[in-house]
Amino acid sequence: MAEYVQVTTATETREEAVRLGKSAVAARLAAGAQIIGPVGSVFWHLGELGEGEEWQLILKTTADKFAALEAHIVAEHSWQKPEVVAIPFTAVSKPYGEWITATVTKG
C-alpha cells in the first residue's frame, strides 16, 4: 500500500487558502484540499508575541508527492516561512487510498 500524508499550512485569508488549494489540486500535487477557519493563532514573529486569525489548508496526497507539494506551497505562499507539515496516515480505506493515488498520478 502506498504511503499517504495530510499536509497542512495556514494562510492569512480564506482567499489565499482557496487559491493555494486550487493550484495544488490542479497541478495534481494533492488529491483534495479542505479549508478550515478562521482559527485563532498565537505565535512568535519578529521577536514579538503575536495573536491573530488564520485559515488552515489541509491537503491529501501521497508521501512521494510531498517534496513537490512543499515546493509549490513555499513558492506560491505570501509568507516568507509558511508552515508546511506532513502527517502520515496510520490507516486509510482502500478505495480512498486508491482515489488519492489515481488523482495525483493522472495527467
CA pair distance 105, 58, nearest whole angstrom: 19
CA pair distance 55, 41, nearest whole angstrom: 10
CA pair distance 32, 34, nearest whole angstrom: 7
Summarize pLDDT for 27-63 with one digit per residue, the tens.
Answer: 999 999 999 999 999 999 889 999 999 999 999 999 9
Confidence band for 101, pLDDT divided at 50, 70 and 90: very high
Predicted TM-score (pTM) of the model is: 0.93
* C-alpha 89, offset from chain centre: 14
Mean pLDDT of the chain: 95
Structural domains in the chain, CATH included, are 4-105 (3.30.70.120)
* Residue 1: per-residue pLDDT: 42
CA pair distance 61, 75, nearest whole angstrom: 18
Other CB atoms within 10 A of residue 55 CB = 20
